[in-house]
Structure 1
Amino acid sequence: MKKVILTALMSCIFQFSNAQNDIRIGGMLAYGTEVENIGIGVNAEFPIIEKLTVSPSFIYYLPKKVSGVSINWFEFNGNANYYFLDEGNINVYGQAGLNYTNVRLSYDGAYSGFLSSAASDGRLGLNLGGGANFQMGGNILPFAELKYVIIDEGQLVLAAGVKFNL
């Protein structure tokens, strides 16, 4: 039994060490349907086993003002990407994970004679979606993602950017 466990452990270590070359970090532009605004973000990809990566990301949506109320919105994501299609220059993956969204609303009443106020709320949600990497050769890897954040009213997020192989 010890030999079987040792063999399985060594196999996992060998597979992880071979996958180290596939660590990626990058940047993206995103659009959220609930916030109705463009965001900028960063992401990374760390291989776990063949065809499975862990992908943390952060998106900060550009601040906007609606009826005198300033809206600041950001999200942290921790996703697992499963690569199920590897056709030539395109790698397609499904995505699932956790989301933390924070929204801050503030109202400066100085100009209207009312009091200023602010409120902030953070929520946990789930991500479901998918994406594709477009192999172009070299260390630059363009990608596109579409995910749905299951949180309160929900939000569809479309993102595109580049990842860099380390």
Structure 2
Amino acid sequence: MTFPHLMLFLHLVGVVVWVGGMAFAYLCLRPAATALPPAQRLPLWAAVFARFFPLVWTSVALIAASGVAMLVDTGFARAPVAWHVMLVTGFVMIAVFVWIWAGPWRALQAAVAGENWAGGAVALNLIRQRVAFNLALGFVTIAIATLGLGL
């Protein structure tokens, strides 16, 4: 196994966990959970995020470290334009996740702990909107990486 192969493997593992997890949460769990009353739905989401967000942090570290390593190994000037676009979209996705984690995720945790279902619903809705954005950006980034899209 060569260095570029290892870095690509780590990069893809991070992407699969993060983007795949968002796809599962948004497209499968979210529609199923809407049938639950807030007193059940919001603690469910809090428990899901408590398990998923540490995986996202690990994925962010893997993606960022392996992506930068591949860029440095290749050379920024010789790297395809798509790699530079992926760098930008990746940092936007990371910033959105950090905003979720630092803001509405903490608000959701506090709301669930205090059984403030209205406040929890507001926080969860903010998370939902940002996850939808990151999921779409994740798919765009994957398309850029694999299809080139003229870059």
TM-score scaled by structure 2?
0.22
- Greater RCO (CA < 8 Å, at least 6 residues apart): 2
More strand by share: 1
More helix by share: 2
Rg larger for: 1
TM-score scaled by structure 1?
0.20
